Amino acid sequence: MHLASLVEMVESGFDERVLLGSVAEPVTGAQFGQLVRAGASTLPGYTSLVYAGENHPLLPVALFSAAWAGIPFVPVNYRLEDAHLISLINRQPGALVLADEHTAARLGGIKEPVQLFDEWLANLPAEAPASEPPFDDDEVAVVLYTSGTTSEPKAALLRHRHLMAYLLGTVEFGGAGDDEAVLVSVPPYHVAGVANMLSNTFSGRRLVYLRHFDPATWLGTVRTEGVTHAMVVPTMLARIVEALDGAEAGVASLRSLSYGGSKVSERVLTTALLAFPTTGFVNAYGLTETASTIAVLGPDDHRAAISSDDPAVKRRLSSAGQVLPTIEVEIRDDMEQPVAAGETGMIYLRGEQISGEYASGSVLDADGWFCTRDRGSLDSEGYLFIEGRADDTIIRGGENIAPAEIETVLLAHPAVQEACVVGIPDDVWGQRIVSAVVLRVGQSVDEEALRDYVRHELRGSKTPDTIVFRDSLPHTDTGKMLRRVVLTELTQSLS
């Protein structure tokens, strides 16, 4: 199925329901349909629609206009440095580039036409010309550049059929009550930012956008807009918890708070559960190449894990939950053979929403399996535990060591705010384990005490050989640790 089909459903199914905008400036389903047709009428002749800017209340008009016009929507990371941003846009010859004011001023060097998104919206024809939407669901709907924490960004291709498989498999049309509103604070170029435009439009839930995230604005907007649902990346959750400083959030309207995109610290999560006592928590796991969420730890799972005395159930609080019924999962060893429950290996996925395709070609195997390059394990009831990128695995003296396991222990120490564990080259061991640690404000601990603490929790071979302290660690703006930057810095400073 093609995303353009959704526009007609939304127009007739939610003609008077408010789907976008603030309480003060609502946009109904019927108005949304008009905007999309008008938007699409400006696009003939272009090969793609690049969006280079912050979140915007009418962002979904850009995505659906591109779909209706039958060209890919390509949201790019406007926070990249100029040269990098321009090189990504130049990989889309023939595009129309819609930008916010600040970003447009930085795009002097590109060949493609640039328009301000606000001006493009203001100049749309009032009467949308009649047009037929395209049908071919094998066309590319969205191009997303992966965040490139371990290598250069790759252009992941999501076809209409992938996104629709996700949508039909997980969301019921009109499933949201007409009082529901979702607050979006992930940026447009994140796969969750694309997926939430689709899932909330399809369920009939009003999309409210934060232009950029800060904890006070987020909490304020939840209150003023009567927000019922929200999705944050773990860094945002950590900042909200920090800003609350032990107080309850006081957001009675918020029914569901979903987090995902990278690993959350257990301390942040348990503090958040206390700060939002009436909110259901959802952890979602997915990759750009899997067209968003493929596993979910729902509110009931969270409650069960917190209240259980069974260690196996308690432990699930740190899992990504169970995979969707529409997805197959296998954990495989180095010989690509499936392993038993409880054993760690590489996570492989298969299903209609799994794209596994880049501009350079598909990486699905002959049977349609996608290797996530994430390592993890399944417990006896199918709860998926993510241990981190395979490329980050440290091999010390022949032993495979997942940095995430050591980081989890370090993060549980009361003095530790952040930790990044990497392997740096070592003549004797092949690699040795080094951790960079950021301490919490007002806390102190020395290297030896912290090493003893890890040795007590794990064992000698998993204890960092060296721990260094830093004021901060580098992240992507969606909260993923930039490990290769940490690795380069530590390799240089310790050699």
Partner 1 sequence: MSITVKAGSRLYGATSTTELIVVKTPHAELELTIGGHPALLSAAERTGGTDVADGHGGGAAMGKRYVDEAGSVELLCTKAGEGVPAVAGEVLQLKDAKPLPASD
List residues near partner 1 by CB under 8 A: 1-2, 5, 8-9, 12-13, 135-137, 161, 164, 168, 170-175, 182, 192, 195-196, 199-200, 202-203, 205, 229, 231, 256, 258, 260, 280, 282, 284, 292-293, 296, 298-299, 324-325
Q: Closest separation between CB of residue 322 and partner 1, Å?
A: 10
Q: Which CB atom, from 189 or from 202, has the smaller least distance to partner 1?
A: 202
Nearest approach in angstroms of CB 125 to partner 1 is: 24
Q: Which residue has the tokens 């969270």?
A: 302
Nearer to partner 1, 463 or 478 (CB): 478
- State the minimum distance, in angstroms, from the CB of residue 135 to partner 1: 5
Shortest CB 281 distance to partner 1, Å:
9
In the chain, the amino acid numbered 398 is G
- Which residue's structure tokens are 């009931």? 300
Please list, in sequence order, all residues whose beta carbon lies within 8 angstroms of the beta carbon of residue 96, skipping any fewer than 6 positions away: 42, 43, 46, 48, 49, 50, 112, 113, 115
Q: Which two tokens stand for residue 182?
A: 């979702």
The least distance separating partner 1 from the CB of residue 321, rounded to whole angstroms, comes to 9
The nearest distance, CB 4 to partner 1, in angstroms, is: 10
* Closest residue by Cα to residue 99 from 122, 115, 86: 115
Q: Tell me how far CA of residue 277 lies from CA of 182, 183, 266, in angstroms.
A: 19, 19, 17
Cβ closest to partner 1, residue 231 vs residue 390: 231
| Terminal C-alpha separation, the chain | 55
Name residue, tokens 């979910």: 296
Strands 256-260 and 229-232: parallel
Closest CA to 312 of 381, 266, 402: 381
Q: Which of 117, 202 has the CB closer to partner 1?
A: 202
Distance of CA 450 to the CA centre of its chain: 31
DSSP assignment, residue 364? -
Q: Which is nearer to partner 1, 18 or 346 (CB)?
A: 18
Cβ distance to partner 1 smaller for residue 59 or 467: 59
Q: Which is nearer to partner 1, 19 or 436 (CB)?
A: 19
Lookup: tokens for 444: 């102190």
Cβ 230 to partner 1 shortest distance, Å:
9
